[in-house]
Structure 1
Amino acid sequence: MSAERVEHLDDPRVAPFRNVRDRDLQRDHLFMAEGRFVVRALLTQSLYDTHSILVTPAAHEAMADVLDGRTDVLLADQQVMNGIVGFDIHRGCLAAGIRRPVPPLDAFLDTLPPERPALLVLLEDLTNHDNVGAIFRTALAFDAAAILVTRRTCDPLYRKSIRVSMGAALRLPFIEIDSAAHACALLHQRGFTTLALTPAADALPLEALAPTPRLALLLGEEGPGLTPEALAGAGARVRINTGDCVDSLNVAAAAAIAIHACTPRRYHRGP
């Protein structure tokens, strides 16, 4: 079936795209993917189903290989699309995805093969969408199994988080947790080592740690860092050594260094 034309701003078919607000979408169990690269990821590599897609003729032509034959594609001229959304969509492509239920941590851990290495990344109260998106991208690149997020952490499925992650937030599962400390206790029961990243001078240097195949890295918000409860709940506190002129790193940069150092690939011995 070819794409269906949208000519008017009040067309009921474009309701999910009208004056896009992430909080409103979340209440409707939806999220918004923006841009050709990210929408392509949603359609071809994602954990999530698609509700509908809104594209300009140019974007439709450029993405014909993944859009042809779909029954959920809406076609609108650029001016009409901008009017529907409420701002200029320079990439000419939006897709509404359908959120899926988030499993509790213990249920997710049951799905991890006990004989294989696993890396988890725990984000405590990170409120910057750029940082969250960047961390998802790094975590996917280096084979993390999932991201754990406290309820104060910004939504990984917010449009900006997805865009900054280059679609990684659509491919890597995330688990909501009530607190980092409680999550650490459960992870310890399941055989995980938990490491809290901190710039504190008395923390262990990251490179000095012995390799461990089942590991969770804890990262806190820039500025305050991890809460005292999270630091106390972790099995060890670790730091990334920097030069004297810089006392700490952006949390996304610190995450990239630590995740790369702890990637499960180092334990891979074949199928």
Structure 2
Amino acid sequence: MSSETQEPVQYDDGYAPEVGVGPHPAPWPEGAPYDPELLAHGDRRNVADRYRYWTREAIIADLDTRRHDFHVAVENWGHDFNIGSVVRTANAFLAKEIHIVGRRRWNRRGAMVTDRYQHVRHHPDTGSLTAWAAAGELPIIGIDNLPGAVPLERTALPRRCVLLFGQEGPGLTEEARARAAVVCSIAQFGSTRSINAGAAAAIAMHAWIQRHADVPPTL
């Protein structure tokens, strides 16, 4: 079985330290998850240690047995550069799926190749997303600091849901706000009017994790 292309991890400061592991010493482990080319040449991918030398297909299959019940959706009307960061965080918290609403193309740099291990679904517009969510009986939880929004910190997020985020700047569209079951705001205490969209997404996903995930006592 041939291995996946080992794309280099990109860092904003241009410095890319060597990551991963080199060739596996003999004897090689045997079994379906392992990729002979990675065993022979090393594994420099941005994956957790438990997945070293595994094929991409084997990693995805294992993640599919453990994915959480929340979905992440992002409106992408202006080719938002924050989407990559949202995708990376969704992978870290093991979201069920990632949904890109609007423009199909998005800046993948911030994802650091984690999108290769996630199920990414495209919706041409907000109506398509909400129809899909309704068919699966998944409430849409909008995240935006809007008048009338309820504090995320005081909201019991449902186990099965779609966390919907607007793009940087304009936030959620009017249609998204109208179709959401609830819109939650994130408490802020400083002078800024808003926080980065990628940071807001991370806070909301972690709120779900705190309520529903089986968090081990130690790493």
TM-score grouping bracket, smaller chain normalisation: 0.5 to 0.7
User: What CA deviation, in whole Å up to 9, does each residue of 1:204-259 have, x standing for no partner?
Assistant: 11122123110101111111111111111111111101014122111000000001
**Residue from 79, 97, 110 that aligns with 1:127:** 79
State the TM-score, normalizing by the size of structure 1. 0.53
Q: Which residue of 2 aligns with 1:218?
A: 164
Change (3 A) 1:176 1:244: same
Q: What CA deviation, in whole Å up to 9, does each residue of 1:61-118 have, x standing for no partner? A: x754599748xx9xxxxxxxxxxxxxxxxx9xxxxxxxxxxxxxxxxxxxx99xx951
The aligned runs of 1:54-93 (5 Å cut-off) are 63-65=22-24, 69=37
| Counterpart check, 1:141 vs 2:92 | yes
Aligned partner of 2:198 among 242, 246, 252: 252
Where does residue 15 of structure 1 map in the other structure?
A: none
Q: Give the TM-score taking structure 2 as reference length.
A: 0.65
Q: What is the CA–CA distance in structure 2 between the aligned matches of 1:255 and 1:136, rounded to whole Å?
A: 9
Q: 2:115 corresponds to which residue?
A: 169
Give identity over the alignment, percent: 29
Compared with structure 1, are the counterparts of its residues 189 and 124 closer, same or farther at alpha carbon in structure 2 (3 Å cutoff)?
same
- Residue 34 (1) aligns with residue 7 (2): yes
Distance change >3 Å, CA 235–CA 247, structure 1 → 2: same
8 Å contact kept, 2:101–2:129: no
Matched-pair contact (CA < 8 Å) for 2:87–2:115: yes
Which AA in structure 2 matches 1:127? H
Q: Structure 1 or 2: larger strand share? A: 1
Aligned to 1:246, the other structure's residue is in SS state coil
Gap change, CA 1:242 and 1:69, over 3 Å in 2: closer
Query: How far, CA to CA, are the matches of 1:151 and 1:33 in structure 2?
Result: 29
Matched residues in 2 for 1:264 and 1:183: separation? Answer: 26
Which residue in 2 is equivalent to 1:261? 207
SS in 2 for 1:175: strand
Change over 3 Å in CA distance of 1:153–1:198 after alignment to 2: farther
Question: What amino acid is the match of 1:142?
Answer: F
The answer for the alignment partner of 2:128 in structure 1 is 182
Counterpart of 2:127 in structure 1: which amino acid?
A
Gaps of 5+ in 2: 11-17, 25-33, 45-63
Structure 1 counterpart of 2:80, one-letter code: N
**Structure with max Cα Rg:** 1
Matched-pair contact (CA < 8 Å) for 1:213–1:264: no
Contact (CA 8 Å) 1:200, 1:239: kept in 2 or not?
Answer: yes
More helix by share: 1
The number of residue pairs the alignment matches comes to 169
Q: Which runs of 5+ in 1 are unaligned?
A: 1-31, 39-58, 74-90, 92-111
Aligned position for 2:54: none
CA distance in 2, matches of 1:146, 1:233: 20
Conserved? CA contact 2:144–2:184, under 8 Å: yes
What is the CA distance between 1:185 and its match in structure 2? 3.1
